[in-house]
Structure 1
Amino acid sequence: MRGADKSRASDLRVTTTRGAGGWLERRALAVLGAATAVVLAVVFYYPVLTVFADAVRVGGEWTPEIVREVITDPFYFGVLAPIFGGDFAQVGDVAANTPLGLFGFTAYQAALSTIASVLLGVPGAYVLSRYDFPGRRTIRSLTILPFVLPSIMVAIGFVAFFGSNGPLNDLLALVGLGPVNLLFTLEAIVVAHAFYNAPLVARVTTAAWESVDARMVETARSLGANPWRAFRDVLAPQLLPAILTGALLTFVFTFMSFPIVLALGGFQLATVEVWIYSLVQQLDYAEAATLAVVETVLSLVLTYAYLRYEARQAGANRAANPPARKRLLPDDPTPTAALERAAVGVYALVVAVVFVGPLVSMVAESLTGPQGFTLQYYEFLVERQATGADFQTKPGLAVRNSLLFGAATLLVALPMGVTISVLTTRGGRGSRLADAAAMAPLAVSGVVVGLGMLRGLVFGVEVGDHRVQIAGVTAIVAAHAVAAYPFVVRNVSPLLSGLDRSMVESARALGATRARALLDVELPLVASGVAAGAAFAFAISIGEFDSTVILATGSSSYTMPVAVERYIGNRTLGPATAMGTVLLGVTSLSFVVIDRLGGRWEA
């Protein structure tokens, strides 16, 4: 009898254990979703709301005075300032002196950068989607490169390339032109922004070009339309939404650009982001917060418009009969083929100059001294690491921090991104709202997040009788994860939404929980997207500068991009390019992973 009782007890314990495990497995997605929401609330929404509060709370009192002063200051809003203040008589005087203001100039340079990115990206989309030729994959890979390169490193490359002794002036001297110095000019900022964002325009436009049904163009031609008319009436209307999408994203990104403007324009050509950073350095948090609030509201509106468009386009199917790429043969003697080869060659030259030139210049500068080839700048880094004082920037510590922060960011951002992808692609009630809320970090700059974390979590939050602080490494990794996980979502969500739902339903019918179906069925099928998202998360952490430069101030938690900025800030271009070359080597590994394992760049 006792044996039977023991058996029943054992069975009961097994049943209870299985029941608890089964409950956890059934609720795994809900638990992960709740944990992700808590993380976002603590390390993103709370810091951003802290910035909003700083704009209207001064000295412990709530007041709109700072906001009123900022929006009625011509320095910030140009001719709009007297209009906001109701002083219309001053509009003429302001228009004659500061017509644009800081926000107007920021929008102006973003508009010019967007135009340059479209002019550079659309021809690239045409070449990559229309022709097949030797070296096409190489050109495509080079245009992907900016996605994983830290912007401060690109700025260093442009300093080396466009400087008075740079390769650009050497080339101009060969044809009897120059010299020119584009450093600290608007033109240098625009070209650098095009370096970053033209591949974005090219990517979305290439996808649209390859989704056009070739039969529609053929029908137009058969009805008597010449090639130009067929392009204008059939092809252009289908490409325009994609071009506008790329342009909108480019405008948002360049409006919030920080390290490129800081390095290539300085405070002489300051944008909103650079001025916020300047105010933070001066401990003027209220005014910095007000600028950050206005900038964030504008970028959120633009990002919401982009997400609405993307949601409308999500159901569009790829063309059943996409246009075939034309093979360019080097021995084709026809005039048309010769003209096409020349056009592809010109674009390849542009890619080489714009995308490769600055990076090669940076590496070359790090190996060139007054007497020619030298390793003195790398020796300087080694010496600084070995004998430098604690307050000096040590390259070895910067490399170690970057790698550790990147690995930690990956461990946080990847589960967050996958969880949000699953929850937002299930199509349930509120999924669109959840997607917009989860993608908000795309529209909020790292400077704003860093400022919010500094003012809130780093300084500490009173919870009862205790002061809770999140500072140092934890704060930096949290800021990096917030910046990185949306790119995991953007890589995983499209693949998840395109899966055949019947496979998941079959697994569920056989007894699998939702979590088990995700692990055993869905994730293996979207492994390329997960790999690409992971590589992006790591690369973004390695290159993140905006929030890090604020959170690492006065500490030893600086990273490679911050070290590069500190070296160039001391006007020591040689060590800065050497540190940038080290950073290039590390980020190139992430680029290889994205290009080879991500696998979704090739049609």
Structure 2
Amino acid sequence: MSGPTRGPGRSPASEDGGRTVERVARRLDVGRLVLPAAAVVTGVVLLVVFYYPVATVFVESVVVDGRLTVGPVSEILTSDFYLVDIIGFTAYQAFLSTVASVALGLPGAWILARFEFPGRRTLRSVTILPFVLPSIMVAIGFVAMFGRRGTLNGVLGAVGLGPVELLFTLEAVVVAHAFYNAPLVTRVVTAAWESVDARTVETARSLGASPTRAFRDVVVPQLLPAVAVGATLTFVFTFASFPIVLALGGFQLATVEVWIFKLVSDLEYAEAAALATVETGISLGLTYAYLRYESQTSGQGEGANPLPRQSLVPETASVKTLASRLSILVYGLVVVVVFVGPIASMLLASVSNAEGFTLAHYRFLLERQATGAAFQVKPLPAIRNSLLFGVATVAVALPMGVVVSVLSARAGWKGRLVDTLAMGPLAVSGIVVGLGLLRGLVFGVDVFGREVVVTGTVAIVAAHAVAAYPFVTRNVSPLLARLNPRLVESARSLGASRARALWDVELPLVWAGVVAGAAFAFAISVGEFDSTVILASGSGSYTMPVAVERYLGRRLGPATAMGSILLVVTAASFVVIDRFGGRWEL
């Protein structure tokens, strides 16, 4: 029996070659679709778990009984209570917190930018801690230090001075906010100071300017924009502060976030939505101003001719040198009190009581785990949930952040538009996102006649991923932007798809940023409190930060013990970030 006939002039080798070409062509076609498909999936995820929940909050603030109205928002803006006591006080404490953060952060920038000493690079990397340390943990540290039986009163009592009461005061809230945001100011201003070209200062000096005049006329104008950015970010963060105010101020010092939480707890959803809408409008305006400045200075780094650094231990002593070193020593003492004191106090309080050293607080956690009632907060489920949510958040936030980085790094004005839209979570508080998820996906949404309900656990991971992926983008995008575009062009000319070029060429070169972004995502998830406290229900979804807050409402000791465990977990994330994220940018 004869085999199938071949066309004239076609050999088996040519047929195999043709099939190979067809397979390669199909793979290339599929490869071209991978990145666009990933971008579409990322956009859908953002739409479902961020923009839709936020839109739900906005709609509830302007739709009452099926009718469009501005009544709820108008009531907020015309009410003396909301306008003065809530929004006005929130802005006032944010202003004081911003002033304190700038005043505390600028000397740190001066030391890091102008002096050389062992551990300077490590100390500079510590300025990322505000993005890693859970705010509820910091609040516990301040309670342990400034409470009636705290470390500060213990030291004052040892020297014969009376106790001071700082808890539930505006001063405690402002100092705690400075703890969080002064390192942010330091980081931003240090980067600007290191980008100052030493030749511009030398030119001013050669024209007869004194060192003070050269600093005032040449250096200060280049630092002011960075100071403004640091102050703007600090104001945005402290305006939307929640755990610190809740723990240190309570409802008697209620800010917008704290009052939204109270309204949600009281099931006053429409009023909460109206207040959240006003707050989000303010935050979006401030964040837009920040992003505009960042787009103008995106290439800022250490200059080619940075100002020379001085040794922290001078070879010769003069009156001026001794005065500057004395000021550094005083600043160092302030840093110890404000930054080291709260964390050390929390650790100390977790292993001590009125009788001295004890492990009773950790034993309490073990006993609660073994014999606690079903409705009580137990430590092991909280730790398990935090770790699982953290891993799930990385799995969602990492690819989202990388895709947004690719879209924004080399796409001109379209990339800037993508970056602006994708950075929305930085301007919208976790309370607003949590409220939107609660009122939308958690309570159920009607989709083509079927009710779609997202469980609390999935909603928590979604909220965490939304909060975390911008930090992945902020780690990866600057590194991608610095790569030579010809590397991708060469890979494409050799037949690689855009996705293959990203996987084989670009990601290996920016792997450090990807790892740092993953560590950021994990740390943010583990420490997230704002949305979690709204969405968590029952033992299946509460996390370590929620457990810390629940314990704090009853006993300080177990709260500090759980806070110390939380510190260990987040410290591991910081080690990874410090190792791989040295080029991380805001």
How does the TM-score come out when normalised to structure 1?
0.92
Q: Mean Cα displacement is larger for which, 109-118 or 465-474?
A: 465-474
Aligned amino acid, residue 585 of structure 1 = V
- Greater displacement, 8-17 / 440-449: 8-17
1:481 lines up with 2:465 in the alignment: yes
**Residue in 2 aligned with 1:380?**
364
One-letter amino acid matched to 1:43: V
Unaligned stretches of 5+ residues in structure 1: 78-99
Q: Please report how far the alpha carbon of residue 112 of structure 1 lies from its aligned counterpart in structure 2 after TM superposition.
A: 0.5
What secondary structure, in the 3-state scheme, does the structure 2 residue paired with 1:511 have? Answer: coil
Which residue number in structure 2 is paired with residue 91 of structure 1? none
Quote the residue 2:570 is aligned against. Answer: 587
Helix, strand or coil at the partner of 2:399: helix
2:493 aligns with: 509
Once the two structures are overlaid, the 10-residue window that deviates more, 485-494 or 313-322, is 313-322
> Quick one: distance in 2 between partners of 1:140 and 1:585?
21
Alpha-carbon contact 2:256-2:279 (below 8 Å) kept: yes
Q: Say whether residues 1:241 and 2:241 are aligned partners.
A: no
The answer for the alignment partner of 1:359 in structure 2 is: 343
What secondary structure, in the 3-state scheme, does the structure 2 residue paired with 1:430 have? helix
Match of 1:577 in 2: 560
Deviations 1:223-281 (A, max 9, x none): 22112211110000000000000100110000000000000000000000000000000
Give 2:55's aligned residue: 49
Task: Tell me the equivalent position of 1:567.
Answer: 551
User: Does the 8 Å contact 1:51/1:292 carry over to 2?
Assistant: yes
RMSD (Å), alpha carbons: 2.0
Q: How far apart are 1:528 and its partner, in Å? A: 1.9
Task: Give, in whole Å, the separation in 1 of the partners of 2:534 and 2:425.
Answer: 17
Q: Of the candidates 518, 538, 541, which is equivalent to residue 534 of structure 1?
A: 518
Question: Structure 1 residues 563 and 4 mapped into 2: Cα distance closer, same or farther (>3 Å)?
Answer: farther
**In structure 2, what residue type is equivalent to 1:63?**
T
Cα distance in 2, alignment partners of residues 548 and 46 from structure 1: 18
Given candidates 98, 108, 115, the residue that maps to 1:131 is 115
| CA deviation after TM superposition for structure 1 residue 142, in Å | 4.1
Q: Classify 1:385/1:406 alpha carbon distance in 2 versus 1 (closer, same or farther; 3 Å).
A: same
Residue identity opposite 2:423 in structure 1: M
Once the two structures are superposed, the pairs formed by residues 1-20 of structure 1 within 5 Å of their partners are: 1-2=3-4, 15-20=21-26
- Counterpart among 486, 502, 506 of residue 518 in structure 1: 502
2-side partners of 1:149 and 1:566: how far apart?
A: 18
Q: Does 1:397 align with 2:381?
A: yes
Show the counterpart of 1:85. none
Judge which range, 155-164 or 323-332, deviates more: 323-332
Q: Counterpart of 2:68?
A: 62
Cα offset for 1:399?
Answer: 0.3
Q: Are 2:273 and 1:289 aligned? A: yes
Measured after TM superposition, the shift of residue 331 of structure 1 is 5.7
182, 185, 196: which is aligned to 2:180?
A: 196
Deviations 1:210-229 (A, max 9, x none): 00001111111222211221
The letter of the residue matching 1:559 is T
Instruction: Using the TM superposition, give the Cα deviation of residue 348 of structure 1 relative to its aligned residue in structure 2, in angstroms.
Output: 2.5
In structure 1, how many angstroms separate the alpha carbons of the residues matched to 2:225 and 2:56?
A: 36
Distance 1:137 1:181, change over 3 A: farther
Any idea what the Cα deviations from partners look like across 1:342-391, whole Å, max 9, x if unmatched? Answer: 33322322222211110110011111122111111100101111121211
What stretches of structure 2 of length at least 5 have no aligned partner? none
The DSSP-based 3-state class of the residue aligned with 1:462 is strand
TM-score (norm 2): 0.95
> Which of 201, 210, 214 is the aligned partner of 1:217?
201
1:438 aligns with 2:422: yes
Q: Percent same amino acid at aligned positions?
A: 66
Q: Say whether the 8 Å CA contact 1:117–1:201 is kept in structure 2.
A: yes
CA distance in 2, matches of 1:56, 1:308: 30
Residue 312 to residue 153, structure 1, CA distance change in 2 (3 Å)? same
Q: State the secondary structure of the residue aligned to 1:27.
A: helix
Give the C-alpha shift of residue 14 in structure 1.
Answer: 5.1
In 2, distance between residues paired with 1:340 and 1:137?
21
Map residues 112-123 of structure 1 onto 2, 5 A cutoff: 112-123=96-107
Asked whether the 8 Å contact 1:139–1:351 carries over to 2, the reply is no
CA distance in 1, matches of 2:505, 2:185: 33
1:315–1:368 Cα change, 3 Å:
closer
Matches within 5 A, 1:317-336: 318-329=302-313, 332-336=316-320
> Which piece of structure 1 moves more, 550-559 or 390-399?
550-559
**Conserved in 2, the CA contact under 8 Å of 1:328 and 1:337?**
no
Alpha-carbon offset, residue 488 of structure 1: 0.8
Determine helix, strand or coil for the equivalent of 1:505.
helix
